[in-house]
Structure 1
Amino acid sequence: MLKTLEKVDPAFRADVLNGLSEPIPAIPARWFYDRRGSELFDDITRLPSYYPTRTETALLEAKIDEIARLLPKESAVVEFGSGSSTKTPILLRAAKPKAYVPIDISGDYLRESAARVDAEFPGIPVHPVEADFTQEVELPVAIGGLPRLGFFPGSTIGNFVPQSATDLLRHFRTILCTGARLLIGMDRVKPIDRLIAAYDDPEGVTAEFNLNLLRRINRELGADIPVDAFRHQARWNDMLGRIEMHLVAMRDVSFEIEDRSFDFAKGKSIHTENSHKYGPRGARLLLLAGGWTPLAEWTDPDQDFALILAEAERERFAP
């Protein structure tokens, strides 16, 4: 029976209903990030086995003086998928921008994070934008005329398959305009046991993060998915160079979403996230394909993670 629901994002409804109807069921990872999902992801970043946030933060702190010398002066920093903005203060202290524009899909979480940044940096105007950065984004009029620096940390680019990642980078170029610069984090390929441990922690936080997507579907779409019938699984796909997260049915299960029925046999999964890992050449080629020319690259001593600074190219119509 259809329940009385809270306001639902029509894109969320479409992605869930269409995604679960596919031969290989999948739901885009961006829908992890309701308020609870955002909180759980912050918890994940502090786990001992989750190296990306810790490694990237240390790398940014170690190299920020070098990075700052290559950044546009008196710019507007535009952060895509800002979340809790934990790395942002390192960049803002060094870049000394004229404005900061965090963009995130989780509105309440965005406003709280923006308020913390505003309190810490009273001399930098903060203009939060609640939006899905993969779609059209209207930047604040207040930053018109300022040089723009995109900030896309966390290896979030790895959540997108290469074609979508290329399209996203081109989208960023359109938002930021030719001549802008982009500081982007990319995770490197490494031993499989370390990768699996980072996405299937013994504390079970990533499992709860993954399962929270089903709880969100139940709450917002009036579904009756038996959450306890699914378990979290992280897999390494060597052919495609990525970690995959799945929700696997532990038994035969049926449920309804808005009067549509879905049946999952035991062992069938919902594919919820990819996290692609790049070598140095692959990362640079991805940026070039997306219209960004790499200018400089920094890595940690163990070569686990990379920060790359790139510049938006002019449109080219010939090789």
Structure 2
Amino acid sequence: MTGPRNYGYTDTLEAEHYATALHADIHDGLTSTPKSTAPTWFYDARGSELFEQITQLPEYPLWRAELGLLQCHATDIAARTGARSLVELGSGSSTKTKLIIEALGPAGLRYIPVDVSADALHQASTQLVQDYPGINLHALRADFTAPLVLPELPAHGSRLIAFLGSTLGNFRRSTRVPFLRGLRDIMRPEDFLLIGADLVKDKHEEEMISAYDDSQGITAEFDKNLLHVLNRELDADFDADAFDHVSVWNSAESHIEMRLRSRVEQRVKIRGLDLAVPFGPGEEWITERSAKFTTDGLRGEMAGAGLRTDQLWADSDAGFALILATAP
């Protein structure tokens, strides 16, 4: 992949990475009890388009809450970190990151967007080098849930690793601290980690649920898009009309679960896996978990991973927080 002189690209993934991961997760997830798969597979072109629509829904304040906090505190983040290298995990369109880039000063800034989608990386990166000609951008196609090897970065000066969008909430509780510990292992004492996290809305359970089950049905269409992806990629015969979208609050785990509930007894053939999957009437398949945090819980998980909280900014009205941590 080529681009302007200030645009580099490294691909660390094998050509079959997507297919191998998809096969393993769907096979294991749909032969488990309860059925449960990763949210990764929502995001083909149609799924990404639907998610962009979701971020603008009145029921989904998360995107706007994080944007508002960044608008208020990007200058604080830049002053505290003094970073001249910015690494963004799961960069996607890099929309919010522009606030950080501008606060840090794009001239001479080393920016490393990390994503599994080559198309998303190329599209966002091409736009960024046009918007900020002085930036030094090196896109990295990688699975950041695995041990991460960054391209060569300046030996001196602090680095800021950004993980926005409350994507940390998609990790199960048992895997979050090991993931954070992996990030801590690639950080130097002068580096910083910035994470966006959605907070528990005490006494507002219905509000949290409605963010994942909007009145227009866009989230339901997004959830069911998984079935269309599996039909295409794995030669399956899912009937989207045979499932209902359901969103529930799991108070024991402090997360929202999106589920597909089978409307009838059915047996789905997934020819690409040589698998037939039975569903009972009313049986539910967990397609996404989205953890909600408390500020004390966030600090605790950072400490458990060997990270020290430098600053936490919270919007109690919107129920969202940004936490900035170091690796002492």
Deviation per residue, 1:75-119 (Å, 9 max, x gap): x11111111111010000001262111111222122111222221
- How far has the Cα of 1:143 moved from its partner? 5.0
Where 2:35 maps in the other structure, the secondary structure is coil
Structure 2 residue 320 is the aligned partner of structure 1 residue 311:
no
**Aligned residue for 2:182?**
171
Aligned residue runs from structure 1 range 124-135, under 5 A: 124-135=135-146
Higher mean C-alpha deviation, range 94-103 or range 213-222: 94-103
Kept in 2: contact 1:78–1:148 (CA 8 A): yes
Paired with 1:247 and 1:109, the residues of 2 have a C-alpha distance of: 27
Paired with 1:163 and 1:248, the residues of 2 have a C-alpha distance of: 26
- How far has the Cα of 1:67 moved from its partner? 2.1
TM-score by length of 1: 0.91
**Aligned residue for 2:218?**
205
**Aligned residue for 2:276?**
261
- How far has the Cα of 1:144 moved from its partner? 5.6
- How far has the Cα of 1:277 moved from its partner? 1.0
Aligned residue runs from structure 1 range 238-317, under 5 A: 238-257=251-270, 258=272, 259-300=274-315, 302=317, 304-313=319-328
Deviation per residue, 1:250-275 (Å, 9 max, x gap): 11111111221111011111111111
Kept in 1: contact 2:269–2:277 (CA 8 A): yes
Structure 2 residue 96 is the aligned partner of structure 1 residue 78:
no
- How far has the Cα of 1:127 moved from its partner? 1.4
Where 2:54 maps in the other structure, the secondary structure is helix
Question: What are the ranges of 5 or more consecutive residues in structure 1 without an aligned counterpart?
Answer: 1-5, 314-319
Kept in 2: contact 1:35–1:109 (CA 8 A): no
- How far has the Cα of 1:131 moved from its partner? 1.9
Taking only aligned residues, the RMSD between alpha carbons, in angstroms, comes to 1.8
**Aligned residue for 1:316?**
none
**Aligned residue for 2:237?**
224
- How far has the Cα of 1:145 moved from its partner? 5.1
Question: What are the ranges of 5 or more consecutive residues in structure 2 without an aligned counterpart?
Answer: 1-14
Where 1:306 maps in the other structure, the secondary structure is strand
**Aligned residue for 1:236?**
249
Paired with 2:94 and 2:326, the residues of 1 have a C-alpha distance of: 23
Letter in 2 for 1:211: K
After superposition, the Cα gap between the structure-2 partners of 1:228 and 1:148, relative to the gap in structure 1 and judged at 3 Å, is: same
User: How many residue pairs are counted as aligned between the two chains?
Assistant: 307
Kept in 2: contact 1:35–1:108 (CA 8 A): no
Structure 2 residue 150 is the aligned partner of structure 1 residue 139:
yes
Paired with 1:12 and 1:175, the residues of 2 have a C-alpha distance of: 27
After superposition, the Cα gap between the structure-2 partners of 1:224 and 1:95, relative to the gap in structure 1 and judged at 3 Å, is: same
Kept in 2: contact 1:33–1:105 (CA 8 A): no
Q: 2:169 aligns with which of 141, 153, 158?
A: 158
Kept in 2: contact 1:38–1:109 (CA 8 A): no
Q: Calculate percent identity across the aligned residue pairs.
A: 40
Paired with 2:308 and 2:170, the residues of 1 have a C-alpha distance of: 21
After superposition, the Cα gap between the structure-2 partners of 1:293 and 1:208, relative to the gap in structure 1 and judged at 3 Å, is: same
Paired with 2:178 and 2:254, the residues of 1 have a C-alpha distance of: 19
Paired with 2:255 and 2:314, the residues of 1 have a C-alpha distance of: 20
Paired with 1:301 and 1:17, the residues of 2 have a C-alpha distance of: 40
Paired with 1:50 and 1:211, the residues of 2 have a C-alpha distance of: 18
Where 2:293 maps in the other structure, the secondary structure is coil
Q: 1:118 aligns with which of 116, 126, 129?
A: 129
Paired with 1:144 and 1:208, the residues of 2 have a C-alpha distance of: 47
Letter in 1 for 2:115: D
After superposition, the Cα gap between the structure-2 partners of 1:201 and 1:147, relative to the gap in structure 1 and judged at 3 Å, is: same
Deviation per residue, 1:206-241 (Å, 9 max, x gap): 111111111111111111112221121110111211
**Aligned residue for 1:10?**
20
Where 2:135 maps in the other structure, the secondary structure is coil
TM-score by length of 2: 0.89
Higher mean C-alpha deviation, range 11-20 or range 112-121: 112-121
Where 1:69 maps in the other structure, the secondary structure is helix
Kept in 1: contact 2:86–2:161 (CA 8 A): yes
